[in-house]
Structures are given as C-alpha cells and as structure tokens.
Structure 1
Amino acid sequence: MNKQMIWAALLLLGAAAPTFSQSLSALPLRNPHQLPEGYISVQSGISLSIPIADGNDEQQQRDAIKSFYRIAASNCTALLDTIADDCQLNGLSSNTDVINIDGRGPKLTVRGQVTMAVKLKAPAAATK
C-alpha cells in the first residue's frame, strides 16, 4: 500500500507540474539551497485532515493529495498577490496517514512542506 501511495504521489506531482510553474519568469535554480541573487527562501507548512467515508479509500487518498498539491501551488499566487514580484516552487514534501484517535472514525491526514524562491517587491510596492 505504501508503494502504491508513493507512486500515486509521484504520478500526481508529474501531472500537476504545469500548475506549479506560476513564476513570472523562469529561474534557473541549480540547487534548491542556492537561490538566485535578490531572492529569499520562503517555507509554508500545510496540513489537511479529511474524514474517510466508506467506499473507495484509494480514490479518497488521491483526492486528498491533489488538494494538498493545489494548496501548495496556490502559495506562490498568494505571495505574488501580496509581497512578491516573482515566485517559484523549489521544494515540496508530503506525508499521508490514516488515524482514528477520537473514535469517530478514520481520518486521512496529509501534511507537507512547501519551499519557494521569492523575489520580494520593493517596500513601497508591497504596501499598495
């Protein structure tokens, strides 16, 4: 089951790759730890918890992972709308778990980290 989830995540990431290219210009990142001049690294943590209904657990897991990737992709949009002139995702990790802590039924939890290379707007432009 874990291998299936990993393959599904990799497949979804590959299919969602065009969504992630929300940068205004292409950044030639040689390595995620080496940012272009004038850029900073911004990280965002994401956590989703979704009740699992009876039925197709695998489809529900795929849908939850897709939701995670959509939220991850929207991080650059939010930065571009507020404080950034340019943004590119350059790191993404996620984990999925099924838990039943409170006895109210199993929940699927997707947690992850998004790392972005961001060029900040000039201070006056960021306040407009």
Structure 2
Amino acid sequence: MNKRLISATLCMLLLGAAGPALSQSFSGLPLRGQHQIPDGYISVQSGISLSIPIADGNDEKQQQDAIKSFYRIAASNCAVLLDTIADDCQITGLSSNTDATNIDGRGQKLMVRGQITMAIKLKPAAGAGK
C-alpha cells in the first residue's frame, strides 16, 4: 500500500476519533465579544459562495459590491431560519475570502466565499405540547 495513502487514512481515522471529543470541549467556550451560547440554543453554520464576472474597469468597486452582496446574503440567513425552524437567531461569527480566478478560460471571475455562524433557539416541534 502507498505510504501517502496509509498516512492519509491514519490521519482521517485519528481526526474522526478526536472529532466528538473536540466538539465537546469547544462547545462551552465563550464566543468572541459575545456571551456563551445560551441554554436551549444551538449553533448553526452556513457556507456561502458567489462567482461574479469581472467587467473591465473599476476592479476595487466590483470587489466591494461583491463583498456587500455576501454580507446581504449572510444577514438574510437569520430571517430564513426565523421563517422556518427558529424562534430566535443571532449572528455570532462571519468570515469571508475574496479572490479573482479564470478557471474556465471564459474571463476573470471574482470569487467570494465565506461562513456565517448563528446561535438559534429552535421552534417547539409540532405536537410537542400534546
């Protein structure tokens, strides 16, 4: 068996075994600038990815517009959760990365990728009070 394959498999097994322990040890840490996730709340993460063609001209303005689009989408995530499964929602973290690519040979595209983390209180399950 290939040494790289063995190393990769071993790493995946070790990370898989450590996963539950790591998630338990980090779940009670305070959030940056926030309190701990309150009892009865859960943490929800959502990944966002945008691909926008870059027109000739003001690249800086196009990048700012793309990042604004990312933040508008991120901000709307709580509204979607409140319409569906949540009684309360707070954004607890955001991260984003921006880069220009020409992967498909059809011109430069601006890529904006990011994560939004929210603390939500789930709505009571239908029929839970019966």
TM-score by length of 2: 0.71
- What is the distance in 2 between the residues matched to 1:68 and 1:105? 21
Q: Which runs of 4+ in 1 moved over 4 A?
A: none
* Counterpart position of 1:75: 77
- What is the distance in 2 between the residues matched to 1:45 and 1:101? 21
- Could you tell me which runs of 5 or more consecutive residues in structure 2 were left unpaired when the two chains were aligned: 1-29
The one-letter code matched in structure 1 to 2:126 is A
Matches within 5 A, 1:109-128: 109-124=111-126
Larger Rg: 2
- Could you tell me which runs of 5 or more consecutive residues in structure 1 were left unpaired when the two chains were aligned: 1-29
- Aligned: 1:63 with 2:65: yes
- What is the distance in 2 between the residues matched to 1:42 and 1:114? 8
- Aligned: 1:95 with 2:75: no
How many aligned positions are there?
97
Matches within 5 A, 1:11-22: none
* Alignment RMSD: 1.8
The Cα of 1:82 is off from its aligned counterpart by 0.5
Matches within 5 A, 1:24-35: 30-31=30-31, 34-35=36-37
The Cα of 1:34 is off from its aligned counterpart by 3.0
- What is the distance in 1 between the residues matched to 2:80 and 2:104? 34
Identity of aligned residues (%): 79
CA shift digits 1:12-67 (9 cap, x unpaired): xxxxxxxxxxxxxxxxxx52593100000000000000000011100000000000
TM-score by length of 1: 0.72
